[in-house]
Amino acid sequence: MESLDAFNDDPNHLKGIGGWLILVAIGVTLSPFILVADAYSTYKDLFSIGSFELLTDPSSPSYIPHFGALIYGEIIINGLFILLGLVLIYLFYSQHHHFPLLYMILAIATPTFLLVDAWAAAKVLPQMEMFDEETTRLLTRSIITVAIWVPYMLVSERVKQTFVRPSQPNQHTSEEITFK
């Protein structure tokens, strides 16, 4: 127990990326790139072989009303998630004080988007199952993420001590400036 007691004298022992934040770092760093890869694999064939044009052209026998709006909506929202994921990477590694809030917003927005998207897809494509295996897997994973990491962001002392830097890029403290 002596090694643990030594931390009681150091007020900064929980400051910095360590402990459970390492798992957050891995998730935050990989998420936008995984989303790009998933989006590419999802939409590549739809756009490359001409299926999108057939499904969105009202004169086509394969026309599906509102299919174009559904796909464009998904692409726009996924693009926003990718962009915000990149912002989240910057906020995380700069230990910015806005990181926990944006992380929680994105964590909660993900299952919300998945539910809305599944509902919209079921309306546009009524013959498709609303909660197919992939949607159920993604929804379950995102709900588990919210259940674990949102409370962690709210109560963790490490989070409170690590993400403290404001957004003032041109103001430096004497501790931040080093001379060589």
Residue 97 has pLDDT above 70, yes or no: yes
* pLDDT for position 174: 45
Residue 168 has pLDDT above 80, yes or no: no
Q: pLDDT at position 50, please?
A: 85
The tokens describing 142, both together, are 């995102």
pLDDT at position 180 over 80? no
Angle in degrees, CA 170, 173, 177, rounded to 5: 85
Mean pLDDT of 153-180: 69
pLDDT score of 148: 96
- The pTM (predicted TM-score) of the whole model is 0.81
**How far apart, in whole angstroms, are the C-alpha atoms of residue 132 and residue 130?**
6
- Position 100 confidence tier, pLDDT thresholds 50, 70, 90: very high
- Residue holding tokens 């022992």? 13
pLDDT, position 166: 82
- Picking from 127, 131, 124, 145, the residue whose alpha carbon sits closest to that of residue 66 is 124
pLDDT in tens, 64-86: 999 999 999 999 999 999 999 99
pLDDT score of 86 = 98
Tokens of 118: 């599944």
